Amino acid sequence: MTELEMAMGMIIDVFARYSGAEGNKLSLTKGELRTLLEKELPGFLESGKDKTTVDKLLKELDANGDAKADFNEFMMLVAVLTSTCHMYFEQEES
């Protein structure tokens, strides 16, 4: 497998590891999303000390209004965070 294929597989595996702990394996509840963020992106929650960070994030991600984040909605988070990190490192280099 190429590096990109492995990275894609890892994202899928991370989603699957946390989804379904509280029910449906095809989506993340607020609690599952919080656990995923605490374990996989601890700096993200640390930088947002506001206790409502996960609530706000889920509201933004939840395009279909079911109070959960499905894989496509989760991928929006991954894409935005990855793009933001890329822009940050571009600025650091200039």
Instruction: Give the chain's domain count.
Output: 1
**Is pLDDT of 18 > 70?**
yes
Find the domain containing 26 and state its range: 3-93
User: Per residue in 46-62, pLDDT tens?
Assistant: 766 677 889 999 999 99
User: Residue 43's pLDDT band (boundaries 50, 70, 90)?
Assistant: confident
Q: Can you give the pTM of this predicted structure?
A: 0.86
pLDDT in tens, 65-94: 999 999 999 999 999 999 998 888 788 776
Q: Once rounded to an integer, what is the mean pLDDT over residues 6-31?
A: 96
Q: What is the CA radius of gyration of the chain?
A: 14
**Encoding tokens for residue 40?**
């996989």
Q: Which residue has the tokens 């379904």?
A: 20
- Contact assessment for residue 26 and residue 19, using Cβ atoms and an 8 Å cutoff: yes
